[in-house]
Structures are given as C-alpha cells and as structure tokens.
Amino acid sequence: MPDLTSVVEDIAADLSTRVERGQVASYIPMLAQVPIGQFGIAVTTAEGETITAGDAAVPFSIQSISKVFTLTLALGKIGDELWARVGKEPSGNAFNSIVQLEAERGIPRNPFINAGAIVVADAMLAGAQPREALGAILRFLRFVADDETITIDEAVARSEKETGFRNTALANYMRAFGVIQHNVEHALGVYFHQCAIAMTCRQLAMAGRYLAFSGRLSPSGPRVVAAERARRIAALMLTCGHYDGSGDFAFRVGLPGKSGVGGGILAIAPGKASVSVWSPGLDRHGNSVLGSLALERLAKAMRWSVF
Ligand code: DON
C-alpha cells in the first residue's frame, strides 16, 4: 500500500498548478468573494492520525455538508418518524429544485437537497427554539471534531437569507402540505445558519470520523450513533450527496460523499478514514472541481473505493 502522507502531498502539489478550477458560487454574494486559487485536504485515519496538505487550516463555509450533521441530529431527536416527511431517493434534479414537490405531496426526495434539509431543520425545532437548535448543531460539531472554535459566519448567514428566495419558496410550499410543521421563518433561520458554519478541512475530517468508524470516533473509541445509523447516513451520501452529480461521483470516486457550494466535500472510506477536501471552484452541479479530482486520485491510490 502506498504511503498515505506522500499520496496526499503529491495530490496537493499537483492540483495547485491546475488552471481549470470551475467557478465560485455566485448566487450568494459572500461566497462569490472567496478567492478561487485555494485547495486543502485532510485525512483522519483509523489510527487517529490526521494528515493535511495545502490550505487545510483555512475555514470555509461548509454549506450543504451541514446537512449530514443535521440529519444525524434530527434522527437522534425524532427517529425514523423523519422518513414520513422526507424520502431516501436521489432526485436527479438540481439541489434547489422545486419541480418534484407538487406531484409528491410536498415530501422532498431526500434529506440532502435543499427542500429535504429544510424539513430536517424543521424537525430540529421539535420542542426547541431556533437558537437552541443551532446551539445543538454547534455543540455536536465541536464534540465530533474535538474543536471548540467552530462557529457560524454571521455575514454568510445574512447573505444567505437576503438571497434565499428559492429556499423561502420551497419552505412555504412544503408548509402548505403540512410537511413543514413549525414557523417557516424559524425553519429557514436554522437552515441558513447551519449552511453558514465555517470549518477547516482538518475540523471536517475529524467531524466525519463517526461515519467512517461505524458510529464511533475511532474503531474502538466512544460511540456517537448506532452503527446502523452511521451506515444508513453513508448510504444516502453515496446515492444523494452530490445531487444530480451523485452518479458521476460514485463512478469516479466510489466513496460516500457530501458536497457544499462553499467548495468542500466530506468523503468517507468505511473503516479506513474520514476525508475532507476544499477548493471553491464548482462544476455545473455545484460540486468542487478540484475536490472531486483529489478524492478520485486518493481513492484510487489507496484502493479505498467501496466497490
Ligand atoms: O441553500 C443554499 O442555497 C445553500 N445555502 C446551500 C446549498 C449547497 O451547498 C448546495 N450544494 N452544493
């Protein structure tokens, strides 16, 4: 097996010279300002080591990657009842699409498209105010990442809200079907703020450990969630984590992964490692161009594909 540190360093060195990087998300003004020339990678292994290269210590907006953590928390809060309000199938549509909701009684296809994540945010409001729900999300992230410094970028949250016309439409539409059960503004408030959480590659790789190690922080470490829950979340990441680019990601990388329009991706090599990559340039589906390429190379070199 090749040496992981050299593989990670080679990938970072090679990608730093790439010219074709896609485009930074432009629909949220605060994200549009992020310089495109950055690339970071962090790999946390079963042995508890974290290997990093490039801009792995630079915080970025985790955006839709937050949907993995809120799903974990909402399942902990209301259990399998959640699946009555959100599906488990790939949508084949863009992350912010509304088209399927009318024919499907306001029930989003999966928890990782925006509509689904807003339902999950709504579930987080069961018996809690928005501030408490956000407090729970931050506490969970700080715990699983073993880092108390993780915070919400309020400027991004504001930018998100000011331009969130589609998300507002999705939430109101689902409220009309009774799928959203709390105040629409509250559900959106949680959603906009969770997307605006800022983390580094190192923090995100650490945070993904419980998904890589069957619900534990290391193969024999403290349990965070049941093994079955971790496995199911990883299954949804594989089938739905990259929206209408999920098939392509599975084909190329072969790992469960979740992308965000900030340019981050969290990928899980079951039993082996939790990996986070970040580069702000996106492809047409909203997935990081260099991030996907880095994961493709890493999975191939380490033979980590689940297939
Ligand atoms: O809802 C939005 O528009 C964003 N805050 C999050 C979307 C996102 O990250 C989609 N991912 N690729």
Which ipTM score applies to this complex?
0.94
Same domain, residue pair 119 and 57: no
Q: What is the DSSP string of 78-100?
A: HGGGGGGTS--S---S-TT--HH
Same domain, residue pair 46 and 71: no
Decide: 193 and 152 in contact? Cβ < 8 Å.
Answer: yes
Q: Judge if the beta carbon of residue 64 lies within 6 A of ligand 1.
A: yes
Query: Mean pLDDT across the chain, nearest whole number?
Result: 97
Same domain, residue pair 148 and 186: yes
User: Separation of 117 CA from ligand 1 center, angstroms?
Assistant: 10
Average pLDDT over residues 46-68: 98
Structure confidence at residue 178 as a pLDDT band (50, 70, 90): very high
Q: Judge if the beta carbon of residue 95 lies within 6 A of ligand 1.
A: yes
Same domain, residue pair 68 and 190: yes
Any idea what the CATH number is for the domain that residue 24 is in?
3.40.710.10
User: Separation of 180 CA from ligand 1 center, angstroms?
Assistant: 19
Residue 171 lies in a domain: yes
Decide: 106 and 176 in contact? Cβ < 8 Å.
Answer: yes
Q: Which of 28, 61, 237, 261 to mutate to test the pocket of ligand 1 (most atoms within 8 A of CB)?
A: 261
- Taking the C-alpha atoms of residue 214 and residue 263, their distance in angstroms, rounded to an integer, is 26
Using CA atoms, how far residue 97 sits from 92, 113, 182, in Å, is 10, 8, 22
Ligand 1 atom closest to the Cα of residue 260 is 9
Residue 273 lies in a domain: yes
Same domain, residue pair 173 and 114: yes
SS3 15: helix
pLDDT digits (tens, 9 = 90+) for 84-132: 999 999 998 889 999 999 999 999 999 999 999 999 999 999 999 999 9
Q: In terms of residue numbers, what domain contains 170?
A: 64-195
Ligand 1 atom closest to the Cα of residue 160 is 5
Same domain, residue pair 102 and 166: yes
pLDDT digits (tens, 9 = 90+) for 131-171: 999 999 999 999 999 999 999 999 999 999 999 999 999 99
Residue 178 lies in a domain: yes
User: Separation of 205 CA from ligand 1 center, angstroms?
Assistant: 20
- Has 210 been annotated as catalytic? no
Domain count, the chain: 2
Residue 256 lies in a domain: yes
pLDDT of residue 276: 98
Neighbours of 177 (CB within 10 A): 14
pLDDT digits (tens, 9 = 90+) for 293-305: 999 999 999 999 9
Structure confidence at residue 19 as a pLDDT band (50, 70, 90): confident
Q: Per-residue pLDDT for 212 more than 90? A: yes
Q: Per-residue pLDDT for 1 more than 90? A: no
Residue 307 lies in a domain: no
Q: Per-residue pLDDT for 257 more than 90? A: yes
pLDDT of residue 56: 98
Same domain, residue pair 265 and 185: no
Ligand 1 atom closest to the Cα of residue 242 is 12
- Has 173 been annotated as catalytic? no
Same domain, residue pair 136 and 235: no
pLDDT of residue 32: 93
Q: What is the DSSP string of 249-267?
A: HHHHT-S-EEE-TTSEEEE
pLDDT digits (tens, 9 = 90+) for 268-287: 999 999 999 999 999 999 99
Nearest to 134 by CA among 206, 81, 172, 188: 188
Domain's final residue, options 177, 195, 213: 195
Rg, the chain, Cα only: 18
pLDDT of residue 269: 98
Whose alpha carbon is nearest atom 7 of ligand 1? 64
Same domain, residue pair 71 and 189: yes
- Enter the pTM of the model: 0.98
Residue 215 lies in a domain: yes
Same domain, residue pair 110 and 218: no
Least confident stretch, 25-29, 74-78, 143-147, 155-159: 25-29
Same domain, residue pair 87 and 173: yes
Domain's final residue, options 160, 195, 230: 195
Domain's final residue, options 175, 195, 215: 195
Same domain, residue pair 250 and 268: yes
CA atoms within 13 A on the CB side of 125: 21
Residue 52 lies in a domain: yes
pLDDT of residue 13: 96
pLDDT of residue 281: 97
